Amino acid sequence: MKSPITVTVSAAGSSRWVPVDYKQTPFNIGMGVKLSAGANLTYTVEHTFDDIQDSTVTPVAFPNSGLSSLSVNDDGNYAFPVKAIRLTLGAHTAGTATLLIVQGGS
C-alpha cells in the first residue's frame, strides 16, 4: 500500500478489509479515526493475520489495543506486521466514522 486509504462506516457493522504490505520493512502504519459532527457511536479498529484474498478462509479479527470501543476521534499505529485492517462500529445511533490508514516506508 503506497497511497493513504480511507474507509467510512455509517451503520453498525464492519468496513471491508484493507490489505496492507506486511512484507514492508519497516512496517510502520499510522492511522486515525475521525467522527462526523454529532456522531453517536462506538468503534474499534481491527486487524487480521489471515489471507483475506483466500475465499476459503474466514479472517479472524483482533481489536487494536489502543483503538477499541471508542466514541471520540483518536489515532494509533501498527509497528509490527498484520495482513489487513478494518473499522467496525458497535453501537450506532447517528453519524459516521472514517478510518485513514497511512503506511510509510520506501
Q: What is the pLDDT of residues 53-63, one digit of tens each?
A: 999 999 999 99
pLDDT over threshold 70, residue 106 = no
Supply the range of the domain harboring residue 79: 5-103
pLDDT over threshold 60, residue 1 = no
3-state secondary structure 45-88: EEEECCCCCCCCCCCCCEECCCCCCECCCEEEEECCCCCEEEEE
- The single residue listed with the C-alpha cell 486509504 is 5
Domain of residue 60, CATH code:
2.60.120
Q: If you average pLDDT over residues 30-56, what whole number do you get?
A: 97
C-alpha cell, 66:
489502543
The structural domain count of the chain equals: 1
For residues 54 and 94, what is the distance between their CA atoms, to the nearest angstrom? 34
